[in-house]
Amino acid sequence: MSVVMLISDSERLRRDAVIGRILEDVRAGRTIYLPDFDRGVSRPSDEYAMLSVGIEANDYGGTVGEFRYQFEGEEDLLHLMVVRGDGEEVSPEEAQRVVDFLYPGVPVAMMWFKAGTMSHHFYLGHDVLLEYLD
Is residue 41, in this structure, part of any structural domain at all? yes
Is residue 23, in this structure, part of any structural domain at all? yes
Encode pLDDT of 97-133 as tens digits. Answer: 999 999 999 999 999 999 999 999 999 999 999 999 8
The radius of gyration of the chain's CA atoms, rounded to the nearest angstrom, is: 14
- pLDDT(86) > 60: yes
Is residue 1, in this structure, part of any structural domain at all? no
> By residue range, what is the domain housing residue 126?
9-133
- pLDDT(87) > 90: no
Is residue 97, in this structure, part of any structural domain at all? yes
Residue 51 near residue 82 (C-beta atoms within 8 A): no
Where does the pLDDT of residue 32 fall: very low under 50, low under 70, confident under 90, or very high at 90 and above? very high
Domain count, the chain: 1
Is residue 60, in this structure, part of any structural domain at all? yes
Is residue 3, in this structure, part of any structural domain at all? no
The CA-atom distances, in angstroms, between 87 and each of 35, 67, 90, 111, 120 are 19, 9, 9, 24, 13
Amino acid 133: pLDDT = 85
Is residue 52, in this structure, part of any structural domain at all? yes
pTM equals 0.86
Amino acid 81: pLDDT = 94
- pLDDT(1) > 50: no
Identify the CATH number of the domain in which residue 21 sits: 3.40.1720
Longest alpha-carbon distance in the chain: 41
Is residue 15, in this structure, part of any structural domain at all? yes
CA distance 71 to 73: 7
